[in-house]
Amino acid sequence: MNQPLAERMRPRSLDEYIGQKHLVGEGAVLRKMIESGRVPSFLLWGPPGVGKTTLAQIIANTLDTTFYTLSAINSGVKDVREVIETAKRSTFFSTQSPILFIDEIHRFSKSQQDSLLGAVETGVITLIGATTENPSFEVIRPLLSRCQVYVLKSLDKDDLLELINRTITTDYILKEKNIELEETGALLRYSGGDARKLLNILDLVISADVNDKVIINDKIVTERLQENPAAYDKGGEMHYDIISAFIKSIRGSDPDAAIYWLARMVAGGEDPKFIARRLVISAAEDIGLANPNALLLANACFDALQKIGWPEGRIILAETTIYLATSPKSNSAYLSIDKALALVEQTGNLPVPLHLRNAPTKLMKELEYGKNYQYAHDFKDNFVEQEYLPKEVLRQRFWEPQQNAAESKIVEHLRRLWKDRY
């Protein structure tokens, strides 16, 4: 049987694995654990086609341990328990617990995830879960607390080029062909950092060419994909492109485009909670202080959706989508926290000024904790000018107001209090 190119090129060892150097490169955390021969339970969080399943298989092969795999789409509690019982019988023959790999673990229900807890805690199995969704939202807290979370990134340009060159020179079918790689721009663009998608496109382009010499350039790749657009969207990867278009339409204040992309997701059977979460994020990231009510509405949308369900839930999503798309926009809060985080990264744990510290004990009072602190409510307008930042970063500005009615009003208020500071 002729396997798909993506399956033929699946790495069998860490040396063949491309990307994720921050996890499996020389001296990286996962590689160290694998080389030590002991791997604890963990979750792999990242977009499709970046090597989550492959990495789990490589770990099992390297450790020479039993490898069980379940898909959250078609496995139930009964399947989980059967694997655990089988694993219990095999733990005597290996120092490393059998590995249970669960693909799309975010689709497991609470009861399914609960069924894993005992076996993970006692070490009967080593759980490796793969998810494209934020585990903080989708994985129950007791299970999350027992698993380290590792974030996988989309493959960058160098990773993808390495994969292309390795494929056309080492694949037992392609290396027999006369392939001339003139351009790679379209291959990289359409793949979107997804190795599986890249290999599917490459397979499509090469298999469609009946000539002795196969030429690959941007024009040919684009033409082949236009002829067969589904060929490079296997496994539902387009869902990430559509959610991107949806959020960008809201950010761009285009309610018609936003509703169109919403309809595409609803018609395609997208998880409504996935859409609602993105609306909450958009309300905070793209609208923010220009209209703080947007976050309240988006959060209410998320709650209402769980109470109402389908098909009426589509109306709640539509109302929120239009509200966010037509709302004034500001990302000042988003920029301010990133600016503050960058400074914290640079300056480390600066001491809290003494006057801002609590002094619940006599010793703390003797050390002048809280001394000279001025209680704002004791002063006119509930305000008194004093310093609240460590002396090393005094008067550092993080929040930069943007041009909209709501933030202009905030600035007007702050200027009355702080004078020239704002």
What is the rounded (10 degree) CA torsion for 202, 205, 208, 209?
Answer: -110
Domain boundaries, the chain: 20-151, 157-232, 238-326, 348-421
**What is the C-alpha separation between 396 and 248, in angstroms, rounded?**
32
When pLDDT is cut at 50, 70 and 90, the band that residue 127 belongs to is very high
Q: What are 111's two structure tokens? A: 């009861």
CATH of region 20-151, choose from 3.40.640.10, 3.40.50.300, 3.40.1160.10, 3.30.930.10: 3.40.50.300
Helix (H) or strand (E) holding 302: helix 293-308
Task: Calculate the CA dihedral of residues 366, 369, 374, 377 and round it to 10 degrees.
Answer: -110
Q: What is the pLDDT of residues 149-181, one digit of tens each?
A: 999 988 888 999 999 999 989 888 888 888 888
Mean pLDDT across the stretch 290-313?
Answer: 88
Q: What's the CA gap between 305 and 293, in Å, rounded?
A: 18
> Who has greater pLDDT, 119 or 226?
119
In this prediction, residue 228 has a pLDDT band, given cuts at 50, 70 and 90, of: low
- Angle at which helices 255-267 and 272-282 pack, to 10 degrees? 160
394 to 243, 400, 408: CA distances (angstroms): 41, 16, 24
Quickly state the pLDDT bin for 384 (edges 50, 70, 90). confident
pLDDT on residue 250: 92
pLDDT of residue 229: 52
Query: What kind of architecture, by CATH, is found in domain 238-326?
Result: Up-down Bundle (1.20)
Query: Among all chains, which residue has been given the structure tokens 């990134």?
Result: 153
Which pLDDT does position 92 carry in this prediction? 55
Cα(42)–Cα(112) distance, rounded to whole angstroms? 17
CATH number of 157-232: 1.10.8
| pLDDT on residue 319 | 94
At residue 417, does pLDDT exceed 80?
Answer: yes
3-state percent breakdown (helix, strand, coil) of the chain, nearest 5: 60, 10, 35
Question: In this model, does residue 233 exceed pLDDT 60?
Answer: no
pLDDT, average across residues 123-143: 87
What number is the average pLDDT over the span 1-15?
83
Q: State the average pLDDT over residues 236-252.
A: 79
Q: Which residues pair with 99 in a beta bridge?
A: 67, 126
Q: Do domains 157-232 and 238-326 have the same CATH topology?
A: no
Token pair for residue 125?
């199995």
Angle at 108 between CA 105 and CA 109, to 5 degrees: 150
> How many alpha carbons fall within 13 Å on the CB side of residue 218?
6
Distances in Å between the Cα of 135 and the Cα atoms of 44, 52, 147, 203, 413 are 9, 14, 10, 33, 40
In angstroms, the CA 213 to CA 236 distance is 32
Distance CA 87, CA 66 (A): 8
Highest mean pLDDT among 131-135, 193-197, 327-331: 327-331
**Per-residue pLDDT at 321:** 94
pLDDT digits (tens, 9 = 90+) for 17-56: 998 999 998 888 899 988 888 888 999 998 888 889 999 9
pLDDT at residue 94 in the model: 55
What residues does 180 pair with on adjacent strands?
A: 215
Looking at per-residue confidence, does 269 or 369 come out higher?
369
Contacts of 126 (CB under 8 A, 6+ apart): 39, 40, 41, 65, 96, 97, 98, 99, 100, 120
> Quick one: pLDDT at residue 1?
52
pLDDT (average), residues 287-297: 92
User: DSSP code of 96?
Assistant: S
**Token pair 């002829």: residue:** 227
